[in-house]
Chains A and B, each alone.
Chain A
Amino acid sequence: MSDGPLTERSICKLLERRAELLAPVRLEQVAYHNGLVDLAGSWDQRRWPFSGVVRARSTPQQLQVALDQVRAHPRSHPLIVVPYLTDLALQHLEEARISGIDLCGNGILIIPGELLVRRGGAPNRYPESAPIRNPFAGRAAIVTRRLALQMRWDTLNELNAALERDATPVSLSMCSKVVSALVDENLVVKEQRHIRVRDRLGVLDGLARHWSRVRPRRRQSVRLGADTDPARLLAQRLGNSPWVISGASSVVMYAAIGQSGPLEVIVEDIDQAMQVSQATPEEIPSFAQAIFVTYDEPGCLCGVQPDKNGTHWSGPLQVWLELQAGDARQRAMATDLFPKIL
Chain B
Amino acid sequence: MSDMPEDPLWAEFAPLWAALRTIHPPVLLAGGYGLFLKQCWVQERRDAPIVVPLSQWRIFAPRATKDLDLLIGVEVIADEQQLELIGQTLQACGFVIHHPRWQFIKRLPGNRTVLVDLHAPEPPPDHPSVVAVPPRVKNMHATSADRVHGRYNPEAVAAHVHPCAIDRHGSSIIVPNPVTWAIMKVTAAGERWQQSQSSSRSVAERDEQRYQAIKHAADAGRVVALMGIGERTAIEPVQAVVRDTHAYAQACRLRREHFTGDGFALPALREIWTPDDAALIADQLARWLP
Contacts and interface: CB of A to CB of B under 8 A. Distances in A.
Interface string A273-289: 00000000001111100
A260 interface: yes
B159 to A, nearest CB: 23
Interface string B85-114: 000000000000000000000000000000
A260 B52 CA distance: 14
Given A284-B284, A286-B52, A286-B53, A260 B47 contact: yes
A286 B225 CA distance: 11
B51 interface: yes
A3 to B, nearest CB: 55
Contacts of B232: 287
Contacts of B283: 283
The contact size tier of chain B is 10 to 19
Max chain B Cβ within 10 angstroms of own Cβ: one of A285, A286, A287 = A286
Nearest to B287: A283
B51 A287 contact: yes
Contacts of B52: 286
B1 interface: no
Contacts of B51: 284, 286-287
A162 B284 CA distance: 50
B46 A287 contact: no
B285 to A, nearest CB: 13
Interface string B226-238: 0001001000000
Nearest to B47: A260
Range class of the A interface residue count: under 10
A13 to B, nearest CB: 61
B280 interface: yes
A158 to B, nearest CB: 46
Contacts of B46: 260
Contact of B50 (A258, A283, A286): A286
Interface string A225-267: 0000000000000000000000000000000001011000000
Nearest to A287: B229
Contacts of B47: 258, 260
B15 interface: no
B275 interface: no
B49 interface: yes
Interface in B181-233: 229, 232
A282 B53 CA distance: 16
Interface in A278-313: 283-287
Interface in B20-56: 46-47, 49-53
A285 to B, nearest CB: 8
B208 to A, nearest CB: 35
Contacts of A285: 280
A260 B50 CA distance: 12
Contacts of A283: 283
Residue in B49, B280, B284 with the greatest tally of chain A CB atoms within 10 Å: B49
Nearest to A262: B49
Nearest to B48: A260
Contacts of A261: 49, 53
A285 B46 CA distance: 16
Contacts of A284: 51, 280, 284
A283 B232 CA distance: 12
B85 to A, nearest CB: 40
A70 B205 CA distance: 84
Contacts of B50: 286
A283 B283 CA distance: 10
A286 B226 CA distance: 11
Contacts of A260: 46-47, 49
A284 B229 CA distance: 9
Contacts of A286: 49-53
B119 to A, nearest CB: 29
Interface string B63-100: 00000000000000000000000000000000000000
Given A260-B46, A261-B49, A285-B280, 7 more contacts: A261-B53, A283-B283, A284-B284, A286-B49, A286-B51, A286-B52, A287-B49
15 contacts: A260-B46, A260-B49, A261-B49, A284-B51, A284-B280, A284-B284, A285-B280, A286-B49, A286-B50, A286-B51, A286-B52, A286-B53, A287-B49, A287-B51, A287-B232
Interface of A: 258, 260-261, 283-287
Which 6 A-B pairs give the minimum distances between C-beta atoms? A286-B49, A260-B47, A287-B229, A284-B51, A286-B53, A287-B49
